[in-house]
C-alpha cells in the first residue's frame, strides 16, 4: 500500500530533476521544453482528477454505511479537496465536479487530458458546458467532439458543445436559461487602487432596462452641465474651475445616487467601516487604510473622503498589541457575540478565516462550541462565512486555535494552520514580523 511518504518522495524526485535541468541551449530547445512540460502538467491534472474521483467514491462508500445525508457528504468532500489544493471551498467544489465528470461520463476527454492532447482548461470547459445534461447526453457529446480535441480553440469548443447540447436536449437548454434568471444576484468584489466591482447578474432585458434608464438620466445631467457652462461669462477667470465631468463619471455618480438615495455620490450615507492607523489619519504615514472584507485603500483617498462635509463620521478606538498589531481581546459572558466583538472579528479575520476561502465574514463562530463549554470571547471566536460555519459542524471537522492562529482539521486528519492577524497590521509590521508565512500543512501519521 502506498504511503504518503512514498508519494512525497516520488514527487520530490520529479521536482528536483526539474530544478536541476541545465538551461536549454537554443530557442528551439526552449519551445520543445515548454511543450514537454505542458504535457506533464496535463498528465498531472488527469492524475489529480483520478485521485479526486477515487477519494469521492471511497468517502461515499464509507459514509453510506454511516447514514449521513448526501448533501452533508458533498459539502465536506468539496472543501477537503479545496484545502488539499490550496483553494477556496468554492473552487474545491468546481474541481471536484470536473474530476468526477471526467472520470465517469467524459472518457474521451479524460483520455485526451491524460495523454496530453488536451489542456486542463479545455477539459474543464467540456465538463462545465455539459453539466446540465444527462449522463447519456454527456457521453454522446464527449464522443461527438473527440475529433476536435487539441485543435479547437476554447471558444470554438464552447460553441460546438452548446450546439450539440441545444440539439440533443432543447428543453434542458430552456430550463437552464430559466434557472439563470432565478439565480439573479448582485455581488461586490474588491478591485485595486481604491476601486471595487459591483456586479449585477440580471435577466438580459432587465439589465438593458437599467442601462437605458441610466443613459437617459446621464443625458439630462450632461445637458444641464452644458447649459451651466454656456451661461458662465467668458471673461470670468476660469483657470481654477473644475473640468466638466465626463459621461462615464456622470453615469457612475448617478448609479450611486439613484441606488442609495443620497444627493451626491460622495456623501455616502450607508455605514462603511474603515480601519486606519492614527499615524496615517493625523500624520503622513504611508500605511494604507483597510475596509474589512474588501482590502486596502490609499490613506490619502480616505482622508479626502473623511473631509467631505456631507459624510457623517464616527470614530471608534481599537487597541492593538505593540509587538505585532494583534487586536486586544474583550471578554463576554453572553452567548451572542456583542456588536463590538463581532466588529473586531470582521476587522481581524477580514474574510472567512478558513484557509483560502474568499467569502465575506458572515458569522462570529465559537471555535469551541458554546454547548461544549466554549466561551463567547475574543480568544474563542472565529469569523467565518455561513457555508464554512455549517460545514465545521459535520463529523470529522474541527477548528482550533488562538486569536493568532487557526488550525482546521479535516476528516482525513490533515491539518491546515494559518496565522490570523488583521491585514492592516501585517502591512505595518512587516519589518519586525513577516506577514503570512507559508501555510503549515501537517500530514496525518501513516496508518
Ligand atoms: Zn468560508
> Which H, E and C letters describe 225-286, residue by residue?
HHHHHHHCCCCCCCCCCCCCCCHHHHHHHHHHHHHHCCCCCCCCCCCCCCECCHHHHCCCCC
Tell me the three state secondary structure of residue 83. helix
**How far does the chain reach from its first CA to its final CA, in angstroms?**
10
Higher confidence at residue 70 or residue 206?
206
Q: How far lies 237's CA from each of 225, 232, 244, 360, in Å?
A: 18, 10, 16, 50
Higher confidence at residue 263 or residue 385?
385
Cell 460622495 belongs to 266
CA 392 – ligand 1 centroid, Å = 10
pLDDT higher than 80, residue 378: yes
φ and ψ at residue 331, rounded to 5 degrees: -95, 145
CA 65 – ligand 1 centroid, Å = 28
Is residue 390 within 8 Å of 75, Cβ to Cβ?
Answer: yes
Percent of the residues in the chain that have a pLDDT greater than 70, as a whole number: 83
Largest CA distance in the chain: 90
pLDDT higher than 90, residue 230: no
CA 172 – ligand 1 centroid, Å = 32
Of 23-32, 118-127, 164-173, give the lowest mean pLDDT range.
164-173
CA 106 – ligand 1 centroid, Å = 31
CA 80 – ligand 1 centroid, Å = 12
CA 321 – ligand 1 centroid, Å = 27
CA 389 – ligand 1 centroid, Å = 7
CA 385 – ligand 1 centroid, Å = 4
The domain limits of the chain are 4-183, 272-317, 331-442
pLDDT higher than 80, residue 440: no
DSSP 8-state assignment for residue 327: B
CA 84 – ligand 1 centroid, Å = 15
CA 409 – ligand 1 centroid, Å = 14
Q: How far lies 313's CA from each of 132, 196, 272, 274, 319, in Å?
A: 49, 21, 10, 10, 19
Altogether, the residues listed in the chain come to a count of 447
CA 186 – ligand 1 centroid, Å = 19
Higher confidence at residue 283 or residue 49?
49
CA 269 – ligand 1 centroid, Å = 29
Rounded CA-CA distance 128/9 in Å is 34
Provide the phi-psi class of 383: left if phi over 0, else alpha when psi is between -120 and 50, else beta.
beta
Higher confidence at residue 356 or residue 430?
356
Specify the pTM: 0.68
CA 353 – ligand 1 centroid, Å = 7
CA 86 – ligand 1 centroid, Å = 13
CA 351 – ligand 1 centroid, Å = 8
Q: Read off the pLDDT of residues 315-373 as tens digits, 9 standing for 90 and up.
A: 666 666 767 777 765 445 556 667 777 888 888 888 899 988 888 888 888 888 888 88
Rounded CA-CA distance 260/268 in Å is 8
CA 417 – ligand 1 centroid, Å = 15
CA 341 – ligand 1 centroid, Å = 19
What mean pLDDT comes out for the span 39-50? 97
Amino acid at each position: 500500500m502506498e504511503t504518503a511518504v512514498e508519494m512525497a518522495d516520488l514527487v520530490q524526485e520529479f521536482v528536483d530533476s526539474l530544478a536541476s535541468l541545465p538551461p536549454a541551449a537554443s530557442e528551439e530547445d526552449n519551445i520543445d521544453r515548454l511543450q514537454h512540460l505542458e504535457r506533464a502538467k496535463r498528465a498531472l491534472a488527469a492524475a489529480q482528477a483520478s485521485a479526486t474521483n477515487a477519494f469521492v467514491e471511497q468517502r461515499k462508500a464509507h459514509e453510506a454505511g454511516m447514514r449521513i445525508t448526501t448533501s452533508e457528504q458533498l459539502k465536506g468532500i468539496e472543501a477537503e479537496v479545496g484545502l488539499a489544493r490550496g483553494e477556496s471551498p468554492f473552487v474545491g467544489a468546481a474541481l471536484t465536479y470536473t474530476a468526477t465528470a471526467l472520470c465517469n461520463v467524459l472518457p474521451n476527454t479524460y483520455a485526451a487530458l491524460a495523454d496530453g492532447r488536451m489542456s486542463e482548461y479545455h477539459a474543464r470547459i467540456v465538463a462545465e458546458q455539459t453539466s446540465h445534461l444527462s449522463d447519456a447526453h454527456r457521453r454522446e457529446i464527449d464522443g461527438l467532439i473527440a475529433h476536435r480535441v487539441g485543435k479547437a480553440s476554447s471558444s470554438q469548443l464552447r460553441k460546438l458543445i452548446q450546439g450539440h447540447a441545444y440539439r440533443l436536449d432543447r428543453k434542458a437548454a430552456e430550463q437552464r436559461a430559466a434557472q439563470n434568471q432565478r439565480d439573479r444576484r448582485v455581488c461586490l468584489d474588491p478591485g485595486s487602487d481604491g476601486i471595487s466591482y459591483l456586479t449585477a447578474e440580471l435577466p438580459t432585458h432587465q439589465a438593458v432596462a437599467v442601462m437605458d434608464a441610466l443613459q437617459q438620466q446621464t443625458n439630462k445631467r450632461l445637458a444641464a452641465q452644458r447649459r451651466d457652462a454656456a451661461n458662465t461669462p467668458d471673461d470670468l477667470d476660469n483657470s481654477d474651475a473644475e473640468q466638466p465631468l465626463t459621461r462615464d463619471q456622470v453615469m457612475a455618480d448617478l448609479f450611486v445616487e439613484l441606488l442609495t438615495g443620497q444627493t451626491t455620490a460622495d456623501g455616502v450615507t450607508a455605514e462603511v467601516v474603515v480601519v486606519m492607523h492614527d499615524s496615517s489619519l493625523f500624520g503622513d504615514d504611508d500605511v494604507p487604510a483597510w475596509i474589512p472584507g474588501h482590502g486596502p485603500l490609499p490613506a490619502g483617498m480616505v482622508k479626502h473622503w473623511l473631509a467631505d462635509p456631507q459624510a457623517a463620521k464616527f470614530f471608534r478606538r481599537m487597541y492593538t498589541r505593540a509587538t505585532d498589531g494583534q487586536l486586544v481581546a474583550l471578554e463576554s459572558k453572553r452567548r451572542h457575540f456583542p456588536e463590538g466583538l463581532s466588529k473586531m472579528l470582521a476587522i481581524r479575520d477580514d474574510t472567512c478565516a478558513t484557509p483560502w476561502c474568499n467569502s465575506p465574514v458572515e458569522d462570529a463562530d465559537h471555535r469551541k462550541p458554546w454547548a461544549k463549554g466554549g466561551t463567547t470571547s475574543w480568544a474563542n471566536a472565529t469569523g467565518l462565512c455561513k457555508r464554512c460555519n455549517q460545514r465545521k459542524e459535520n463529523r470529522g471537522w474541527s477548528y482550533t486555535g488562538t486569536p493568532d492562529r487557526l488550525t482546521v482539521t479535516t476528516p482525513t486528519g490533515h491539518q491546515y494552520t494559518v496565522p490570523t492577524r488583521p491585514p492592516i497590521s501585517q502591512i505595518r509590521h512587516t519589518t519586525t514580523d513577516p506577514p503570512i508565512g507559508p501555510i503549515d500543512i501537517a500530514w496525518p501519521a501513516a496508518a
